[in-house]
Amino acid sequence: MHKIFVSATNTDIGKTYASKLLLRHYASYGYRVGALKPIETGVSAIPQDGQALLSLAQQLNPKLNHLEVNDIVPIQLKLPAAPFVANHAQDIDLTPITRALMALEPFCDIVIIEGAGGLLVPIDAHTMLIDLITLCQAKTLLISHCHLGCINDTLLNLRLLQAYNITPALAFNCKEQDLEHFQKISQPYFDAHCKPYYLLKHDIKALGDTLLEF
């Protein structure tokens, strides 16, 4: 089973959007797709991101119709904050994440694992979000934004991943109104130093294929 961890340079960069694009892309190839949201905070009733992922995954892979949202969001916290804060600085048992991933394996060829916030979001005193990549033994997709400052934000995250011996695929979530600015202000640097990189949704086929080759 292929496992792809979707992270980003910060919150609200496009992890859920990218995850949905990848689910649809792989399903178009005939793969049985699934999704996992290991940790979601800000949950008052239903984990919204997890429900969105599950609904699409079930639409694309009916073998998952027996699942409920709690099956793919094993850790849920009420406060919309880093898990460390939302759980009052208490240790968090990560075993439910690995159990949820194992439960998907009989029904999936590819599982998209969506992170929460950025790579250095603290889960508890011992663990950051980046540690879930190793825990899940997943390939990594890093999503960055296209606004001014994306060079700095992207390089910080790439160097962090390098320090953890993780080689990611890099993609930019450029909204139409941002694309021209990105091409003029930031893209020349990425062309010189960070190829290959991809643009969501324009390069989803090449991005998806690359992630399977890692």
Q: How far is the C-alpha of 143 from the C-alpha of 197, rounded, in Å?
A: 10
Is residue 37 among the annotated active site residues?
yes
List residues bridging with 33 in a β-sheet. 110
Burial of 22 (0-12, 13-18, 19+ CB in 10 A): buried
Q: Is the dihedral of CA 110, 1, 66, 40 positive or negative?
A: negative
Q: How far is the C-alpha of 85 from the C-alpha of 175, rounded, in Å?
A: 32
E strands present in the chain: 2-8, 33-36, 39-41, 75-77, 110-114, 139-144, 169-173, 198-200
Both tokens of 29, joined, read: 């190839």
Q: Which one of 37, 184, 195, 205 is the catalytic residue?
A: 37
Helix (H, G, I), strand (E, B) or coil at 99: helix
Token pair 């969001």 is found at: 73
The residues annotated as belonging to the active site are 37
